[in-house]
Amino acid sequence: MTLIEVLVAMGIFGVLGSLLLSFGIETSHITDETSNSVDLNEEARVAFERLARDLRDADHVTQVLPDSSGSCGADEFAGVSFTEGTTEAADVPHAVSYKWDTVNKRLILSEAIPDPEQQPILAAKVSRLCIQLWSSRWSPIPVQPDKGTSWAELNPPSPPNLTDWWCTAQLADVDRVSLSMTAEMHGHARTYTTDVFLRNARIGEEAADGSYCP
């Protein structure tokens, strides 16, 4: 073999090696991206399904937290508190609360709002959590009859400030909740949406304290 042939062969092998190396790096990058996307989906799905399951077992919504970040619509909320029966004693309700921490971008589960012991239930950042309330009782002619009457159609009186809760008597009529959550992790973002019927809701009953909205 001549020197020229050796140099040509080295050049060809160098090009092929670069192509193979690029292919390997790209494959590794795709694998990492896919793994990160799967991790986000699995973790967010478990947390979102837990929220939906707890709502599905709820007796009634007791409190809602208005969205102070401006990420949700005028008739949507960033937190919800409700009571549900336990499997050990179905006639003894207990309080469950979920809220979106807009500052730290966390989904918080607690037994009260506020709660000094509250902890995030999702490692991924939550960039958006919007909760919309519906009732089959509020209006005989709702805009979306398949869902019932929305909170916007009811047009309840606004609270004095964002730290106050909405009217207990009207919240007791909620029997359907729409959820939308956007989770982010490792540069990936995914939005989850669902509609949940409160199968244990007993709408039309007077609030526990006998109160009604002014």
Domain of 189, in residue numbers: 33-197
- Whether residue 214 lies inside any domain: the answer is no
| Six token digits for residue 169 | 């008597």
Mean per-residue pLDDT for 191-203? 84
Instruction: Give yes or no for residue 142 having a pLDDT over 90.
Output: no
Residue 167 lies in a domain: yes
Q: Please give the Cα distance from 119 to 85 (Å, whole number).
A: 22
pLDDT value of residue 159:
47
In a domain, 175, yes or no: yes
pLDDT surpasses 80 at 53 = yes
- 14 occurs within a structural domain: no
- CB-based contact 96:83 (threshold 8 Å): yes
Instruction: Check residue 2 and give left, alpha or beta (phi > 0: left; psi -120 to 50: alpha).
Output: beta
Between these two residues, 80 and 155, which has the higher pLDDT value? 80
Please indicate, yes or no, if residue 78 is contained in any of the structural domains.
yes
Confidence band for 206, pLDDT divided at 50, 70 and 90? very low
> Which pLDDT score is estimated for 179?
92
Q: What percent of the chain has pLDDT over 90?
A: 5
In a domain, 60, yes or no: yes
Helix (H) / strand (E) containing 31: helix 3-56
Question: How many domains does the chain divide into?
Answer: 1
**Would residue 21 count as lying in a domain?**
no
List pLDDT tens digits, range 70-105: 888 878 899 988 887 654 555 544 788 888 988 888
Report how far residue 33's alpha carbon sits from residue 188's, in angstroms, rounded to the nearest whole number: 9
How does pLDDT run across 8-41, given as a tens digit for each residue?
Answer: 788 888 888 888 878 777 776 666 666 666 777 8
| Residue 31 φ/ψ, nearest 5 degrees | -60, -45
| Cis peptide bond N-terminal to 114, omega within 30 | yes
Half-sphere exposure of 111 (CA within 13 A, CB side): 3
The count of other CB atoms within 10 Å of the CB of residue 87 is: 6
Q: Which amino acid type is present at position 65?
A: L
Chain centroid to CA 45:
9
Whether residue 180 is contained in a domain is answered as yes
The confidence score (pLDDT) of residue 213 equals 43
CB atoms < 10 A from the CB of 118, how many? 17
The arithmetic mean of pLDDT across residues 187-200, rounded, is 87
